[in-house]
Structure 1
Amino acid sequence: HLIWFNCLILVGSGSSRCSGRVEIYHSRTWGTVCDDGWDMSDAKVVCRQMDCGVAISATQNAHFGEGSGQIWLDEVSCSGSESSLTQCGHGGFGSHNCEHSEDAGVICSDEIRLVGPGSSLCSGRVEIYHSRTWGTVCDDDWDMSDAKVVCRQMGCGVAINATKEAHFGEGSGLIWLDDVSCSGNESSLTQCGHREFGSNNCYHSEDAGVICSDEIRLVGPDSSQCSGRVEIYHSGTWGTVCDDGWDMSDAKVVCRQMSCGVALSCGHRPFGSHDCGHGKDAGVICSGSNFVLHYL
């Protein structure tokens, strides 16, 4: 599988138009990028360059398989605002100390975005990219199985709500999908059953949306949608929450965020700043609007 765009391709095992091993074209030869210093700022540039929405993950260690031939870039350092990867800082074409076992890759939001008034990275009107144009999805038969696929595709945890009737405002232009029918296990919305692209009997007043669990998940041996170890998604990586100062007010926020309780607010140290080990990971048990605190 190979996709070309602006002298950049995403290739390898399991790749798609918007995910794969990053390869660039230089001196009439395709070559890979080393993962030294590879991070979400770099992935953000690639996803923008490919017109693939937001960056979900900056993969390392040849996640999409090892390339061959040239390794063109090493020590890539993007601010995240560049329009192409070659505009970012790097050690010079062909200058590296890497093997193909270090080939870098990206996972983008796969031709999907969440937009509209009140939207965020993990909630909004669903729009997909097809034939170089963004368009909306009609809410006919739109349900939680469909929302589940979108939330997974966006790296946003579980689906909280499948919104209808332009909950996040009306889109404009094309309505790409109608009568979407997902099992909930698909990796992207376009893999679900639907009418042909552009075939619909809808108006933008019927634009579909989703509310996901906003980059939070509850996991562990005995976890469920409403109980488990609290993990959050930040800078392309899932991580835990330390139980220092963790109390019922914090648990209430999590339960509400997961649609399992009521909402309060709380503060935290900067991301990654802690004096904890994973033996102090915090968790919650929620039950509707009732919940108890549980330390894992």
Structure 2
Amino acid sequence: LIMFIDTRLPLCTSPIGVQIRLAGSGSTRCSGRVEVYYNDTWGTVCDDDWDFNNAKVVCRQLGCDTAPSAPQSAHFGEGTGPIWLDNVDCSGSERSLSECQHGGFGRHDCGHNEDAGVVCSGEICLQIRLAGSGSTQCSGRVEIYYNDTWGTVCGDSWDLNDADVVCRELGCNTTQDAPQSAHFGQGSGQIWLHNVGCSGGERSISECLNGGFGTHNCGNSQDATVDCLGKKTVFLDKCSGRVEIYYNDTWGTVCDDSWDLNDAKVVCRELRCGMALGAPKSAHFGQGSGPIWLDDVDCSASERFLSDCQHRGFGTHNCRHSQDAGVVCSEMHLGSKIRLAGSGSTRCSGRVEIYYNGAWGTVCDDSWDLNDATVVCRQLNCGTALSATESAHFGQGTGQIWLDDVACSGSERSLSECRHRGFGTHDCGHGEDASVVCSGEKTFLFMRFCFFS
């Protein structure tokens, strides 16, 4: 069905917060067919009046560099579904496509053979630092470098999840606090980010939702800060391996005297590596070198950090490196990828799929409930969980079934923190694939940028 513009209607601007993406054959993160998310559906943009200024705004909004071209005529292939925008008219200075004039959502005289595209010259890369009065390497005012200028982050919506990501990105330990209101003093100049929305599982703030560069309603009195607990003090290789402690500017090992699963649980939790599956002894992962920092470690399993557990004191031991302690955790990383898929799925409802060991797989619905769905919805920034549907409600998946008997309390920040049987261990078929229906996504624009340490 083709809809025609009533030329008597004035041009309008779209609401703030409309998301965009690039898709199609041959697309990359910074080139492709322009698609707009509106009314819970992705749709395309007609190429009538599509020009370099429009493409420039799209590239800026997506965190990509200058647009060298604005291809028309479905250069990246024809899209499907609605054509949301036509006669888009940007001056080139707008910060998002939502600020440009157009004929109104769904009003067009186009077919998908006229889908508009962009080719941007590349991804913009940012640096991140902590600054301000009393700041240290792991605490201070959060600042990012963009467009040749250091600027701050607004504290609106800033929370422990956001701070956790910054601490992790800077190589610091878990967040102790996420103060707002310029706790480390006010910055100056630009405020680059606003309404940052991390789930806490991202490996970089570049993976978090935000309101777009330079778009804010804040003053520097609201500058966001972090207070991390210091440089990482526990190390493992990919969530299993020999446990090493950083103390007195030196990495050292842990003696396996009294080492048990409770101790391993604390290590896995501290590193956000899921459940502890084993607590091997006798240098199972090879002998370390240098100091042996801890001996006779005695955790109850409820401690937040290994340093909170009882032990003989740093450097006090009667061990050799042949007794180095190790752990085996269930996960590769808290930030394991998760997505919703299947027939009739949207960004915030669908079949739950996990990316593990280089492949996407599903979750079995045994014991699946609203607590589990709550964690998935939170991790995806999709609001509250409305239902935890079972029996392949959104269609059966294919390939691996990665998780079974998932048991979340509902407070976890990632599905990887919940109890389960272990990756790939299940007694299910895809007719039991689990799914969720969430209330809806936050109205932040998605923007990604890379980080050089």
Q: TM-score range by the shorter chain?
A: 0.5 to 0.7
CA contact (8 A) 1:180 1:194 kept: yes
2:427 counterpart residue number: 290
Summarize the alignment of residues 26-105 of structure 1 with structure 2, pairs less than 5 Å apart.
33-35=152-154, 43=167, 46-47=170-171, 52=172, 63-68=178-183, 70-72=185-187, 74-75=191-192, 97-105=218-226
1:111 counterpart residue number: 232
Measure, in 1, the Cα distance between the counterparts of 2:192 and 2:381. Answer: 28
Cα distance, 1:155–1:197 mapped onto 2, change above 3 Å: same
SS in structure 2 opposite 1:71? coil
Code of the aligned partner of 1:188: F
- Of 260, 275, 287, which aligns to 1:143? 260
1:9 counterpart residue number: 135
Measure, in 2, the Cα distance between the counterparts of 1:213 and 1:240. Answer: 24
SS in structure 2 opposite 1:211? strand
2:310 counterpart residue number: 193
CA contact (8 A) 1:149 1:184 kept: yes
CA contact (8 A) 1:33 1:104 kept: no
What is the CA RMSD across the aligned residues, in angstroms?
Answer: 4.9
Measure, in 2, the Cα distance between the counterparts of 1:109 and 1:246. Answer: 45
1:238 counterpart residue number: 379
Cα distance, 1:127–1:246 mapped onto 2, change above 3 Å: farther
1:162 counterpart residue number: 279
How many correspondences in the alignment? 218
Q: Deviations over 1:90-131 (max 9, x none)?
A: 99xxxx95344441326578633334xxx31x2222111111
Shift of 1:212: 2.0
Measure, in 2, the Cα distance between the counterparts of 1:255 and 1:68. Answer: 44
Unaligned runs of at least 5 residues, structure 1 = 11-16, 25-31, 81-89, 264-287
CA contact (8 A) 2:266 2:299 kept: yes
TM-score, scaled relative to structure 2: 0.38
Cα distance, 1:127–1:22 mapped onto 2, change above 3 Å: farther
Measure, in 1, the Cα distance between the counterparts of 2:298 and 2:228. Answer: 24
2:403 counterpart residue number: 254
Shift of 1:254: 2.5
Cα distance, 1:33–1:205 mapped onto 2, change above 3 Å: farther
Measure, in 2, the Cα distance between the counterparts of 1:156 and 1:35. Answer: 30
Measure, in 2, the Cα distance between the counterparts of 1:69 and 1:180. Answer: 36
CA contact (8 A) 1:140 1:179 kept: yes
CA contact (8 A) 2:179 2:227 kept: no
Code of the aligned partner of 2:324: D
TM-score, scaled relative to structure 1: 0.54
Cα distance, 1:239–1:206 mapped onto 2, change above 3 Å: farther
2:447 counterpart residue number: none
Code of the aligned partner of 2:421: C
1:85 counterpart residue number: none
1:130 counterpart residue number: 247
Measure, in 2, the Cα distance between the counterparts of 1:123 and 1:230. Answer: 28
1:13 counterpart residue number: none
Cα distance, 1:173–1:194 mapped onto 2, change above 3 Å: same
Summarize the alignment of residues 207-222 of structure 1 with structure 2, pairs less than 5 Å apart.
207-214=324-331, 215=333
Measure, in 2, the Cα distance between the counterparts of 1:248 and 1:109. Answer: 43
- Of 283, 287, 290, which aligns to 1:173? 290
Shift of 1:68: 4.4
Rg (Cα) greater in structure: 2
Cα distance, 1:114–1:45 mapped onto 2, change above 3 Å: closer
Q: Deviations over 1:153-206 (max 9, x none)?
A: 112222222222222222110010011111111111011000110111111122
CA contact (8 A) 1:231 1:240 kept: no
Cα distance, 1:161–1:255 mapped onto 2, change above 3 Å: farther
Measure, in 1, the Cα distance between the counterparts of 2:183 and 2:308. Answer: 30
Cα distance, 1:179–1:110 mapped onto 2, change above 3 Å: farther
SS in structure 2 opposite 1:75? strand
CA contact (8 A) 1:34 1:98 kept: no
Shift of 1:136: 0.9
Identity %: 31
Does 2:294 correspond to 1:153? no
Shift of 1:21: 4.8
CA contact (8 A) 1:168 1:209 kept: yes
Code of the aligned partner of 1:254: L
Q: Larger % of strand: which?
A: 1
